[in-house]
Amino acid sequence: MDLSLNLNGFGDKPLIQIADLKEGGKYSKEEVEGRNKLATLYRLVDLFHWSQAIYNHISLRLPGEGKHEILINPFGLLYREITASSLVKITTDGRIIDSGSTPLGINQAGYILHTAIHEAFPEIKCVLHVHTSIGAAVASMECGLLPITQGKLS
């Protein structure tokens, strides 16, 4: 019986641990959980080939009443390189609270898009912005996305 792990999509690069934060560190339990989940989502997006080098973004609103803080990727890491500790914590007014484990900053265009959505829709916890080849193809068509499915017709 073959029990080998299929890592298609990750190439021959060594895997980098996602949940790399130690318990009892500087982050709350809720923030560590959010960081782990968000870093995992970055890896899944990469695994499905939905990332475009460093030009996509996923953000997570941190829990807390009246809190206006999000986690977002540092600008310069590939999705397969993102870990819980590398995520940047930033306020929706642009102040970096925690730059994570890298010296990298954030992508300003990504920050502007994500904070606008998080501020306009406080019920939204996570924003995913990707550039898939299929999405680019549909967006390039003059007709755009056609309502041809049964669900779209009702």
* Residue 21 within any structural domain of the chain: no
* Residue 15 within any structural domain of the chain: no
What is the total count of domains within the chain? 1
Rounded to an integer, what distance in angstroms lies between the CA atom of residue 141 and that of residue 20?
Answer: 43
Is there a contact between 106 and 88 (Cβ–Cβ < 8 Å)?
Answer: yes
* Residue 101 within any structural domain of the chain: yes
* Residue 135 within any structural domain of the chain: yes
* Residue 5 within any structural domain of the chain: no
* Residue 4 within any structural domain of the chain: no
Q: How confident is the model at residue 52 (pLDDT cuts 50, 70, 90)?
A: confident
Is there a contact between 153 and 147 (Cβ–Cβ < 8 Å)?
Answer: yes
Residues above pLDDT 70, as percent of the chain: 86
Average pLDDT over residues 75-83: 93
Is there a contact between 132 and 50 (Cβ–Cβ < 8 Å)?
Answer: yes
Tokens 């669900």, residue located: 151
Rounded to an integer, what distance in angstroms lies between the CA atom of residue 145 and that of residue 17?
Answer: 38
> What mean pLDDT value characterizes the chain?
85
Q: How confident is the model at residue 23 (pLDDT cuts 50, 70, 90)?
A: confident
* Residue 6 within any structural domain of the chain: no
Which pLDDT score, from 0 to 100, does residue 149 have? 66
Rounded to an integer, what distance in angstroms lies between the CA atom of residue 48 and that of residue 132?
Answer: 10
The CB density around residue 85, as the number of other CB atoms within 10 Å, is 20
Which pLDDT score, from 0 to 100, does residue 37 have? 97
Rounded to an integer, what distance in angstroms lies between the CA atom of residue 63 and that of residue 104?
Answer: 24
Rounded to an integer, what distance in angstroms lies between the CA atom of residue 102 and that of residue 109?
Answer: 19
Which pLDDT score, from 0 to 100, does residue 1 have? 45
Give the domain CATH number at 76.
3.40.225.10
Q: What's the pLDDT tens digit per position in 106-145? A: 989 899 999 999 999 999 999 998 888 888 888 888 987 7
Contacts of 152 (CB under 8 A, 6+ apart): none
Question: 62 is in which domain, residue-wise?
Answer: 29-153
The CB density around residue 5, as the number of other CB atoms within 10 Å, is 6
Which pLDDT score, from 0 to 100, does residue 2 have? 46
